[in-house]
Structure 1
Amino acid sequence: MLLGHGAAAQEAFPREPVQAVLAAALGAVLERHLDAAPPADLGLWTLRGLEVLDPQLKAEMQSGTLLLNAGDRLLAARPLPPPLPNAPPDAAAPALALGLAALFEAAWQASPLLRRAGPERMLRSGFEELFNHLDPYSRYLTPEEAQAARGRRIGQVGLGLRLAAGRGREVVLATVTPGGPAIEAGLRPGDRVIAIDGEPVSAQDLAGAAALLEGPAGTEVVLRLQRGGRRFQVRLLRSLLPPETVHVERRDDILWLRLDNFSTATDRHVLQALTEGFPPDGARATRPRGVVLDLRGNRGGLLGQAVAVAGAFLPGGVVAQTAGRHPDAARIYLAALGDRTAGAPVVVLVDGRTASAAEIVAAALADQGRAVVVGSATTGKGLVQLVMPLPNGGELLVTWSRVLAPKGWPIQGLGVLPALCTSLGEEATAAALARLRLDDPPMAAVLARERAARAPVPASEVAALRSACPPAEGRPGDAAIARILLTEPNAYEAALAR
């Protein structure tokens, strides 16, 4: 059930559908969000979202009553019912939604700006303001956005390319997938992307540039590019691509695995690569000396895939834990596949763009003493969102649990800190490697503090820990450091968690 986007699409305010969406959404937040918030605060924050669309509006709370003003004029007031003793957390949602829908309607009637925006935009703005007070990852998806998101969850809709930061503020093509629309159009890695659908792009907002590429299968996107001194334009048709998330190479007697993200088939590709590299009946002399798991630029994906991939390197034990306010949010994820590398040494490469599921893998292998992490502090995205369907066909992504590493420290905010930091420059990296060769791990004290941290971690402690190895884009020398560690067992052992 679509609510319409403007006055032309909807002459009268659809009060009942809006109330139904508000009731379902607020009930989900009250019951499941990681942090409890009073219903009155949720109502006030949601109502203030209308101020973004029309600055003449003013929402406030006085003595348990929500007030909506237009300039000096009171438009409407709705008292909030007192909390019910021993009631479930979401019991206040229906009455809160009833009052908010009435206030939304009063605002609609008084504001031409809101009528032009439409009820769907009013809901979106209300939820955006609500989540501005809660966490950075909960969000509302309109029915159209939810439909596209469902399509991406079923299969990766894309163009067969991946963006990366180039020199300065340049955005370049990092990879071009064989068989995809980009390679069929003649695009190559290293091509500079100037604009997407007429929108200029910059490495300062790489996520925004990537978002411009998203869209349903069968739709077109126009890219303006530069190769050398020549500028040109291509039209690419988005298609349903098989997930090509794992790239495998055996080089210098090392198995190199680069994971772009964690999609539905990532674990199968990793298991295949490890089985081919470390066959159960193969001679030890033919096996690679170690594995480099490259998670730089990996923004995450499916939690279950992260657990499975980490489990392929672990003999057993905890991969991750989740904890939240709702009883169902508490879970322990165990390694179940068994180590498919026969105990071979592993180096994990990370950078400031490594996030979410990729951080879970890096944290698990580091905490279990199974791998040495090299690079910089990662993003620190350790919150899990629950997808809640809404009556209008939209969806609410509600943050309901935090991810804890095997040793109990929270990934959110802290990120994963490496055992060997490469983001402080070549001289600092060389000095850190020299200390490892002397069995003096340079990050030992910082890593011990991180693993002793418990949620919620004070912002000052987060800043202090991350400053020891600031997040940065992966360095060209990271691979060389990984190769050194895998060829120098003493330095590798010194860097492992103790």
Structure 2
Amino acid sequence: MIVPSMSHRSFPRSMAGYAARVLLLLGTLGAVAAAPVDPVATPETATSSPLNIGMLSNVLSSALNFLQPRTLESYSARDLCWWGLDGLTAIDPAIVIEEVPPPDPQTRKPPAIQLMSGQRVLRTFPRPGDTDTAGWIALVVSAMQEAWTQSTTIRAAGSTALLQSFFDELFNHLDPYSRYVGPAPAVQDRTARFGGAADVGVTLGRDDRGLFISAVNANGPAWTAGVNVGQRLLAVDSRSTRNQSPESVAHWLSGPSDSRVLLTLADPGRRRANLVLHRASVPPQTVFAYTHGHLVVLRVTSFSTETAEELSQYIDQSMQDTKLAGIILDLRGDRGGVLQQAVTATALVLDHGVAVVTNGRDQRANHIWAVQGGDMTKGVPIVVMVDGRTASAAEIMAAALADHRRAVVIGSATLGKGLVQAIGQMPDGGELFVTWSRVLAPLGWPLQGLGVIPQICTARGEADLQHSLRALRDGQVVDAPTVRASRAARYPLSVSRILDIRRNCPAAIGTDADLDAAQAILTTPGAYKTALSAIPDDLSAVP
């Protein structure tokens, strides 16, 4: 499915019950597009299997048709295929592809492509025109078939490795995030995004008294039905769990989607009760919550298709505390995920405004992602904790909340992954991730390379952090010049300029100091307000 062409998108602010179905991934972030999948064809995996020429041709054709209109820069069929052909040499160094230049131009003999093994010419192919996509695909398939016949090393690697090596070499010439994922790992990736086998969404533990519920997935049927951590699971469909392992009973809880399962549960010290649930395919939980006094910490581990829904549920619960002093969003170590979920999650706490802008060569990649509606928290102070591993969708959320002065960001410079990938499903069941747009934060600065510079840096040691906190209480932001310089940056940004900005708060792994600083800021309203002021109103005044 191709994401509809739009220049502007708005999302409602209250997202309880919302579940995003359009997938946009930045970094593991982008728009989903799917090439037609042959329902009959199966991927070649066994090294002893013959080379499936039809499948090979279908995958390469789908891949080039998907790639060419979407890459950030324009590349010809010749560029893409010539780079990919180096994959043969990567598997078997004896196999070499050479372009034979024409002899005397007066002979008008066209150039040719030679497939060689050492000094021996295996086959010579007419060189297609640079834009002849079909011709180049036919050449690649023929070269692969010939190499397969002549090289025991290539046959031993197998047809899956042949495709993987082709795409690996091709993408070596593009960017760090474009890639091909083979059929088996692609299934695992899709399971992580959408959920796998249907179950009820609980994790089981065991002690000397038997099985108990150790965790409840906020996306699953058990959460909706009110199952609680600590309850004893006594039976599944009237089958006793006594002397059973958590793994065995977890298998009992799995089954066809929407099928019925009867749980017999008991609270500590209470009578047993029966609960009927309907199994569902449950994405892994990505939001985890705990309280510290009247502060709520919401840790977001990634952005899957249900993250905004999970976050909305926890925020709704948090708002039941009439003395709630603040919310801490912990995005440390969050490598990103679904772009639309980052925008939707931002919409939960940002009253209105642009969350992110994406720009690419393909017009379908150009969007202004805006939010509107209402802040679920009604202005409760927010701190976002980040570190050097915070990336892509997580950086988008942190940047949006900081740029709109809705949150104070604490930690270190983030990873700086600001390229969006479109995902194409290939006929072999694999997936193609192709970078097709760049990410700009609300104030117009590029995330790629630069990352998010926090208002309060914790990466320079405890003494420096305490100095920063004292300065905040006195109405000053130590890192204000660095933050303002980052917001004034514009694409294209030189590597030297990026390093000049980032070295003031170098990327680091998060520590307990981040949480201590977050608590100190949220319990000192004046310091919190001062930290927000580090974000400039007028970028024209920034040198």
Q: Which of 68, 71, 90 is matched with 1:30 structurally?
A: 68
Cα distance between partner residues in 1 of 2:206 and 2:374:
38
Could you tell me how far 1:6 is from its partner in structure 2?
4.7
1:151 aligns with 2:191: yes
Post-superposition Cα deviations, 1:238-266, rounded to whole Å, max 9, x if no partner, equal 97655332222332322222112222332
Cα distance between partner residues in 2 of 1:5 and 1:247:
38
- Native 8 Å contact 2:355 2:369 kept in 1: yes
Determine helix, strand or coil for the equivalent of 1:373. strand
Within-5 A mapping of 1:80-479: 80-83=127-130, 92-155=132-195, 179-180=203-204, 243-278=284-319, 286-479=322-515
Post-superposition Cα deviations, 1:435-471, rounded to whole Å, max 9, x if no partner, equal 3233332222222222222233222222222222121
Q: Runs ≥4 in structure 1, deviation > 6 angstroms?
A: 181-186, 234-240
Post-superposition Cα deviations, 1:405-430, rounded to whole Å, max 9, x if no partner, equal 11122212221111111111111212
2:27 corresponds in structure 1 to none
Could you tell me how far 1:157 is from its partner in structure 2?
7.3
2:122 corresponds in structure 1 to 75
Determine helix, strand or coil for the equivalent of 1:291. strand
Determine helix, strand or coil for the equivalent of 1:76. strand
Determine helix, strand or coil for the equivalent of 1:32. coil
Cα distance between partner residues in 1 of 2:282 and 2:58:
36
Determine helix, strand or coil for the equivalent of 2:491. coil
CA spacing shift, 1:287–1:407, aligned 2, 3 Å: same
Amino acid paired to 2:203: G
CA spacing shift, 1:324–1:336, aligned 2, 3 Å: same
Determine helix, strand or coil for the equivalent of 2:351. coil
Could you tell me how far 1:26 is from its partner in structure 2?
1.7
Identity %: 40
Determine helix, strand or coil for the equivalent of 1:427. helix
Cα distance between partner residues in 2 of 1:475 and 1:252:
20
Determine helix, strand or coil for the equivalent of 2:490. coil
- Native 8 Å contact 1:6 1:115 kept in 2: no
Cα distance between partner residues in 1 of 2:506 and 2:371:
30
Determine helix, strand or coil for the equivalent of 2:493. coil
- Native 8 Å contact 1:5 1:117 kept in 2: no
Amino acid paired to 1:72: Q
Could you tell me how far 1:480 is from its partner in structure 2?
1.0
Amino acid paired to 2:95: L
Unaligned runs of 5+ in 2: 1-40, 102-110, 216-245, 255-280, 537-543
Determine helix, strand or coil for the equivalent of 2:203. coil
- Native 8 Å contact 1:295 1:350 kept in 2: yes
1:45 aligns with 2:92: no
Determine helix, strand or coil for the equivalent of 2:176. coil
Unaligned runs of 5+ in 1: 84-90, 160-176, 190-233
Cα distance between partner residues in 1 of 2:408 and 2:173:
37
CA spacing shift, 1:2–1:269, aligned 2, 3 Å: closer
Could you tell me how far 1:44 is from its partner in structure 2?
1.8
Cα distance between partner residues in 1 of 2:91 and 2:407:
50
Determine helix, strand or coil for the equivalent of 2:68. helix
CA spacing shift, 1:486–1:324, aligned 2, 3 Å: same
Q: How many residues align?
A: 424
CA spacing shift, 1:99–1:92, aligned 2, 3 Å: same
Q: TM-score, normalised by structure 2?
A: 0.72
Amino acid paired to 2:369: Y
Structure (1/2) with the larger helix percentage: 1
- Native 8 Å contact 1:2 1:143 kept in 2: no
Cα distance between partner residues in 2 of 1:390 and 1:348:
38
CA spacing shift, 1:463–1:247, aligned 2, 3 Å: same
Post-superposition Cα deviations, 1:93-132, rounded to whole Å, max 9, x if no partner, equal 3222111111111211221111111222111111011111
Amino acid paired to 1:455: Y
- Native 8 Å contact 2:194 2:283 kept in 1: no
Determine helix, strand or coil for the equivalent of 2:291. strand
Could you tell me how far 1:351 is from its partner in structure 2?
1.0
Post-superposition Cα deviations, 1:158-216, rounded to whole Å, max 9, x if no partner, equal 99xxxxxxxxxxxxxxxxx9625799999x99xxxxxxxxxxxxxxxxxxxxxxxxxxx
Greater shift after overlay, 98-107 or 144-153?
A: 144-153
- Native 8 Å contact 1:291 1:347 kept in 2: yes
Cα distance between partner residues in 2 of 1:158 and 1:48:
42
- State the superposition RMSD in angstroms: 3.0
Cα distance between partner residues in 1 of 2:159 and 2:522:
59
RCO (CA 8 Å, sep 6+): is it higher in 1 or 2?
Answer: 2
CA spacing shift, 1:180–1:387, aligned 2, 3 Å: farther
2:234 corresponds in structure 1 to none
Cα distance between partner residues in 2 of 1:453 and 1:257:
30
Post-superposition Cα deviations, 1:241-296, rounded to whole Å, max 9, x if no partner, equal 553322223323222221122223322232233233336xx9xxx23122111111
2:38 corresponds in structure 1 to none
CA spacing shift, 1:59–1:242, aligned 2, 3 Å: closer
Cα distance between partner residues in 2 of 1:182 and 1:24:
49
CA spacing shift, 1:181–1:408, aligned 2, 3 Å: farther
Cα distance between partner residues in 2 of 1:401 and 1:62:
36
1:225 corresponds in structure 2 to none
- Native 8 Å contact 1:410 1:453 kept in 2: yes
Cα distance between partner residues in 1 of 2:211 and 2:496:
49
Cα distance between partner residues in 2 of 1:495 and 1:485:
9
Could you tell me how far 1:235 is from its partner in structure 2?
8.3
- Native 8 Å contact 1:315 1:335 kept in 2: yes
